[in-house]
A = this chain, B = another copy of it.
Amino acid sequence: MKISDILIGIRQKDPVAIAKAISMVENRKKDYTRLLEKIYPLPGRAFKIGITGSPGSGKSSLIDRMINGLKTRGFNIAVLAVDPSSPITGGALLGDRLRMIQHSNDANVFIRSIANRGHLGGLSLSTHEIIDLLQAAGKEIIIIETVGVGQSEVDIVNVADVVLYVLNPGSGDEIQIFKAGIIEIADIFVVNKADLGGSDLKISEIKNYFSLAAKNPLIFPTSAREDQGIEELLSALFKFREEEKGRIEEKTAAVKKNYVEKIVADRLKTEIEQNPSIRAIWRDSADANPFQLAESIYRIIQTGGSHDKKD
């Protein structure tokens, strides 16, 4: 499939073209930047919902129910499940996604697992790029799911407009919430599996914790199994989007700025690695004072050190 054909497919919201484009970007295939450069300006801005929480908290089932409610509202939806890439369990976690398979024949619901390739540093550049691809393909709602094992759920905040943290009655998630900094990134807490009982207790526990930080979190009990509380949660999400419009716009701008800066930083890193004068510094003075080394490298960059290569 040629890039021009993929681009036409994306504009026509063709799932095959979208899938192809995501694979190109995810695997850094030749010409993927040529593809990316051509998807701008984006036709619209999707509502990006980040969902995180411990394994087993029922995120996928919850998303499944949310998709039903969002379809009823007429939205064009995408789900991006970001898996930590481990050589061993990498594939196993994808099993969860099977629960969402009932939507897989629906042209308006695009579901995709991506590996968290920057696995030593949270979400990678490509996550941001894939979200832009989905927006280019007219997706109006993008749900981004991560397994709650640390940095990934913190990085979600960098791409999502609203962040849900899913936990269960009887879980000991509070420790995780506080240690991993979830308290600072989650906008809405969902006590899922409320049908098991004990969700009131869990809600008041969370409130107590938050009162220590003088915060008053939004908390919703749901039961994905019994399809309870989903409508209330969806309404709360759209209310949040409306009420926090200004803050979301600021965040979107900051996310984009961050993305652009990462592109610049990536290019500079390549430059630094390939520049012959900088390579000579590493070869000859690796034992020197790091501040002096940094100063020398900085000078070379600023005086157009790459001049001898191209331009």
Contacts and interface: CB of A to CB of B under 8 A. Distances in A.
A299 to B, nearest CB: 10
A260 B297 contact: yes
Interface string A289-311: 11111100110011110100000
Max chain B C-beta neighbours (<10 A), residue from A88, A183, A263, A290: A290
A240 to B, nearest CB: 22
A222 B307 CA distance: 58
A180 B150 contact: yes
A225 interface: no
A134 interface: no
A285 to B, nearest CB: 11
Contact of A150 (B151, B184, B261): B151
Contact of A179 (B89, B267, B269, B272): B89
A74 interface: no
A75 interface: no
Contacts of A89: 175, 178-179
Given A151-B151, A181-B86, A213-B87, A261 B267 contact: no
Majority DSSP secondary structure for residues of A touching B: helix
A234 interface: no
Given A121-B121, A179-B147, A268 B268 contact: yes
B84 A181 contact: yes
Given A213-B87, A289-B40, A55 B297 contact: no
Question: How many copies of the shown chain assemble into the complex?
Answer: 2
A272 B260 CA distance: 11
Contact of A86 (B183, B253, B289): B183
B183 A294 contact: no
Contacts of A253: 286
B149 A180 contact: yes
B291 A263 contact: yes
Contacts of A84: 179-181
Nearest to A34: B291
Given A36-B291, A256-B290, 16 more contacts: A33-B291, A55-B175, A84-B180, A84-B181, A86-B179, A87-B213, A88-B212, A119-B181, A120-B181, A260-B290, A261-B272, A264-B294, A264-B301, A268-B268, A302-B302, A303-B304
